[in-house]
């Protein structure tokens, strides 16, 4: 019986170690993927997409508070047996209740498409077969690519690889 329990504990401990190890590996792998990696290639073209907005309405919410009072009863007892006395008194306590209510609508500018800067590269990371790859980049990298000549070698840290810009 003792050996069987030891085996079960060992199996549970082994599972815990494996799960911990897998979690640590997944965490490390996620960090490695999110680390900034530079991309090099030949400048093909650049594209800037402006932010697109549209007017929209939403409920206007306000906070409305009400104040009031409660009458609270207090009692105190003293003594014991036949000499027990009870004293009662009342106090008024103030309270405030607040809640959010709808009061009409308000107009705002809803963003349909965020502003994006994209660069298309050829010969990505030296691979001549990888042409016409779009990358979403920071504004400063976009202006560097815009100022560069056609087929100039560029190196930057992309925000994202996109199918088209």
The 8-class DSSP code of residue 126 comes to: G
* pLDDT given for residue 111 in this prediction: 97
pLDDT at 22 over 70: no
> What pLDDT, on a 0 to 100 scale, did the predictor assign at position 98?
96
| Per-residue pLDDT tens over the stretch 96-109 | 999 999 999 999 99
Residues 6 or more apart whose Cβ sits within 8 Å of residue 157: 36, 37, 38, 39, 138, 141
* Overall pTM surpassing 0.85 (yes/no): no
Give CA separation, 17 vs 3, 5, 24, 89, 159, in Å: 21, 18, 10, 64, 35
> What number of other Cβ atoms are within 10 A of residue 28's Cβ?
10
Q: What percentage of the chain exceeds 90 in pLDDT?
A: 61
């Amino acid at each position: 019986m003792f050996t069987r329990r030891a085996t079960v504990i060992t199996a549970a401990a082994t599972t815990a170690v494996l799960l911990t190890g897998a979690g640590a590996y997944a965490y490390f792998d996620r960090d490695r993927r999110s680390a900034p990696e530079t991309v090099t290639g030949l400048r093909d073209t650049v594209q800037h997409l402006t932010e697109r907005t549209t007017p929209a309405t939403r409920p206007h919410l306000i906070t409305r508070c009400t104040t009031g009072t409660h009458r609270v009863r207090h009692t105190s007892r003293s003594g014991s047996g036949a000499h027990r006395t009870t004293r009662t008194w009342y106090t008024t306590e103030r309270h405030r209740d607040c809640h959010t209510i709808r009061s009409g609508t308000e107009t705002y500018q809803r963003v349909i498409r965020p502003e994006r800067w994209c660069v298309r590269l050829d010969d990505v990371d030296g691979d001549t077969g990888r042409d016409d790859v779009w990358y979403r980049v920071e504004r400063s990298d976009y202006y560097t690519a815009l100022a560069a000549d056609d087929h100039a070698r560029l190196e930057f840290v992309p925000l994202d690889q996109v199918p088209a810009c």
